Amino acid sequence: MAGRYAEAIGSGLQGVDATLVRIEVSIQNGIPSFDIVGRVGSDVREARERVRAAVRNSGLEFPGGRITANFAPAWIHKEGTGFDLPLALAVLAASGQIPPLPAGPSVLSFGELSLTGEVRGVNGAVNRAGVAEEGGIRTVLVPWDNRSEAGMLTGLRILPVRSLRKAIGVLSGKTADSRAAREGILEPPSEPPVVPAVVRGQLKALRAVEIAAAGMHNLLLVGSPGSGKTLLASLLPYLLPELDAAESLEVTRVYSAAGLLPPRIGRMRERPFRSPHHSATAATLVGGGGRPRFGEVTLAHKGVLFLDELAEFSPHVLESLRTPAEERVVRMSRNAAQLVFPAEFVLVGATNPCPCGARLEPHGGCRCSRTSVRKYASRIEGPLIDRMDLQVEVLRVAAESMEETVRDSGREDLVAMKERVARAAALEKERNAAVLGEACWNARIPGDRLEAVLGSAPGTVAEAARLAEAKKLSVRSFQKVLRVARTLADLDGTPAVAGNHVLEALDYRLAEYDRGRD
Amino acid sequence: METRLQALVFVSLLMAKARIRGAAFERMKGRLERPEAFFEASDRTLKELLGGPPEAVESLGRFLKEGREEARRSAQRIEAIGGGAVWQEDPSYPKRLRSIAGPPRVLFHLSSLASPLEILERPCVAVVGTREPTPYGEEAAVRFARDFARNGVVVVSGLAHGIDTMAHEGSLEAGGPTVAVMANGIDSVYPRENEGLAARIRGNGVLLSELPPGTPPKSNLFPARNRIISGLCDATAVVEASARSGTMITAGCALDQGRDVFAVPGSIFSDRCDGTNQLLKEGAFVLTDSEDLLERLPASLRLGGFATPGRTVGDPSGEGRDPEERILDLLRAEPLDADSLSRRLGFGIQEVSIALVRLEIENRVRKENGRYRASRKVF
């Protein structure tokens, strides 16, 4: 039996998380055959044909005899083509063509093989490589195409390989080039977007976007078609503080697992912006399916989920957003496993003010009755509206400011805005970490800790409550006003929330959308 | 008195539910004369008096099963809420209304005033218009209603959204009584948003209806109501109406009743003004100043106005004053959105937000459809 048995370590993907898979190969005498056992999907079984051809076409010999490959642990369902490379390595080691892989776990590898022996990239490379440490493994062979994302993992020896032969070479210590993983990566410069002409004159709406960015506040834009709601929302990914290394890795993991990484860059450096159409189903939005796919909420992780025409979404679809918006994750059970998808996003909703859309136009044309306007607003799920800290009306740019829209690109303004946001965010995180013990965004300050975080002079909160009462706000709205006021003070760089911050925050509540009333 | 009210409710139910109107009603009234006689008459007498096709008699029969009991209950309800009713031949029945073709037989009224029908003998002007006015129309309605009220004229309208609401508000602001004629029973308010307004009208004015209590609003009831609005008034002022609208019916009623019709000129581009502009083309009086109308009222009817203190006019230069006052000055001229205020005054959008919230809380401005307007408070 000696020399007829070998193992290799691969990793399988489940949702965003990967698990180590030990591939055991045993070759026995008998009629030539090649079987894979251990709860594998049909796509894993197809690896047999690819491995056989790749081995032969790499100038190596595919062993005769009865080959059994066992994928452990057997209770985890395994799918995908990422096991080709470790399987080939285990077969070659078992047949004595390459030295047995060092005893105990030491090298993790994954990748799909072409029939000629090329190693192809797979989805979720960064996720798969990321579990190496769990098994005490320091060295990871990754497909060349996946080198950029895998290079984000620090503390691991990432060895990108282009072919099965190269992989064998790397393992025997001939061509170890871990630098390649960190080179040749395209870093896109973070260029301010050109502010579209239609939103440049939108002072108040832009202010709302700035506040939303500084505190990660959910935002509701109510405005006529063509007033620039979508463009306003699309400024947010740029304005939000840049992803730090850990966040960038989190987002990259999602996009890698979904197979949606930008091809050459291979990493997610910018905050995602997702805008599903209003015909989207609940499964599209939150994820699901037999082989669970990520929903838009997960693809918007650490970024912006923009829902245009909020009133046109079916109510149960919007209803399905509630749990993810609250828990910041999506949970589902599949194949006896609990999957948890991340879903931490800023929600931006846009809606017309009335069925015809012209309600906010200066000289009207809107013939919607009050009843139909009220009905239209109430089509949007109350609990969802309740999560909108900022609500602002977006009017079409007035004639007097049309001139501004052609003057310059407005980039300077946007850069200045981004700087203000970054400063506020830094202050906010530091303070919230000190007071709450968690560097959370202002939008996430728990209601019962608000007073402590506000740091206001005695009486300010009581006065704020009186003002909210005068504006007929519900209790829930009142808390949102205080969170927004906290962000306004952070934008001002002041430690304590003052009366004027509360007043300004009150201006971002729309009576029509306050559901907690009466 | 209780039986009187019962009888009047009964008569109104007879018309509304058993559909006895016109000649048939005249025939019955010719014999019975007083409303009490209707209530006291036996079913058989009523059926005999009605005569006519068997279906009509049958329908009356069905109504009579519950009719008297319903009249009793409704009368109790009206009394409980402090309302009353008047018969077309009563001396307190509004005189101008009596002279129109087809006056309401019974008029229900609800008011906290001691003698509510008395104000209907003062000079009255109907201010009516679209339910979906432009800001221009709203301002016009408020201004004229206020001016009329200050000159002792009672403003009559229909309690609907839009121009009607503005007309009542303008009059109340100036301290003048106002009259709302409703197309539903006196015991309910439609639209519901105007419940507050209706309560204030009760305090200084009257709510009127010819329909029996409990009648829900229905679109087919509106035209008949409109004839009462114009019929109560010396003149009808139309502020914004589209060519096919209930307001145009009111204007038509006024003309049929031989009353003056005034129209406020509107934009030639707006479909909300094509009705008023058409009226002007057809020879309605042009209303651009309240004097246009007031001078047409018989001199004897011009009473002393309700005293109102003068308004303080803002410092025109505006410099050096606090943002709130400067914003108010601009908003008194026209409704504006926050962005425009920020630009015109050179204040940052934050300052404007803060000032506007203050003003809103003090009820000095209100926001509607994204724009702010100065509240029509009498300072």
- 113-132 in chain B: CB under 8 A from chain A: 131-132
Q: Which of A199, A202, A207, A513 to mutate to test the interface with B (most CBs of B within 10 A)?
A: A207
Minimum Cα–Cα distance from B130: chain A residue? A367
Structure tokens at B79: 């009394």
pLDDT in tens, A271-280: 999 999 999 9
pLDDT in tens, A451-471: 889 888 778 888 888 888 888
Q: Work out whether strand A112-113 and strand A119-120 pair parallel, antiparallel, or are unpaired.
A: antiparallel
* Closest of A509, A454, A504 to residue A480, by C-alpha: A509
Of the spans A119-123, A223-227, A406-410, B290-294, which averages the highest pLDDT? A119-123
Any CB–CB contact under 8 A between B356 and chain A? Answer: yes
Q: Between vectors from CA B203 to CA B200 and to CA B209, what angle results, nearest 5°?
A: 80
With a pLDDT cut of 90, the percent of chain B lying above it is 48
**B14 to chain A, minimum CA–CA distance in Å?**
33
Contact flag A507-B356 (C-beta cutoff 8 Å): yes
Is A433 an 8 Å CB contact of chain B?
Answer: no
Q: What is the largest CA-CA distance in chain B?
A: 83
* Residues of A (361-400) whose Cβ lies below 8 Å from B: 362-370, 393, 395, 397-398, 400
Expressed in angstroms, the distance from the first to the final Cα of chain B is 44
Q: Is residue A175 over pLDDT 90?
A: no
Rounded distance between C-alpha atoms, residue A71 and residue A57, angstroms: 25
**More confident position, A86 or A369:** A86
Quote the pLDDT of residue B301. Answer: 42
**CATH code 2.40.70.10 for A5-182:** no
Handedness of CA A345, A347, A348, A349 (dihedral sign): positive
CATH 1.20.120.920 describes domain B323-374: no
Residues of chain A with CATH 3.30.230.10: 5-182
- pTM of the predicted structure, to 2 decimals: 0.68
CA torsion, ordered B54, B56, B60, B61, to nearest 10 deg: 20
Instruction: Flag the least confident range among A213-227, A232-246, A376-390.
Output: A376-390
Q: Which residue of A has its CA nearest to B136?
A: A363
pLDDT exceeds 60 at position B280:
yes
Residues in chain A within 8 Å Cβ distance of B338:
203-204, 507
Long-range pairs, B97-101, Cβ under 8 A, ≥24: B97/B228, B97/B231, B97/B232, B99/B257, B100/B227, B100/B231, B100/B257, B101/B256, B101/B257
Class of domain A445-518: mainly alpha
Q: Is the pLDDT of residue A387 over 50?
A: yes
**Distances from the Cα of A268 to the Cα of A148, A231, A251, angstroms:** 10, 22, 6
Domain ranges of chain B: 2-76, 95-301, 323-374
Domain ranges in chain A with CATH number 3.40.50.300:
197-421
Render the burial of B188-200: b for 16+ CB within 10 Å, e for the rest: bbbbeebeebbee
- Stronger pLDDT, B303 or A263, i.e. the higher one: A263
Which numeric CATH code is attached to A197-421?
A: 3.40.50.300
pLDDT at A209 over 80: yes
| CA distance, residue B134 to nearest chain A CA (Å) | 7
In this structure, of A57-61, A71-75, A134-138, A371-375, the range with the lowest mean pLDDT score is A371-375
**What's the complex ipTM?**
0.84
pLDDT of residue B308: 31
What is residue B274's predicted lDDT score, i.e. its pLDDT?
92
Query: How many of the other CB atoms lie within 10 Å of CB of B69?
Result: 9
pLDDT tens across B112-121, in order?
988 889 899 8
Architecture per CATH, B95-301:
3-Layer(aba) Sandwich (3.40)
Considering only CB atoms, A504 lies closest to which of B161, B350, B360, namely B350
- A467 part of contact set with chain B, CB < 8 Å: yes
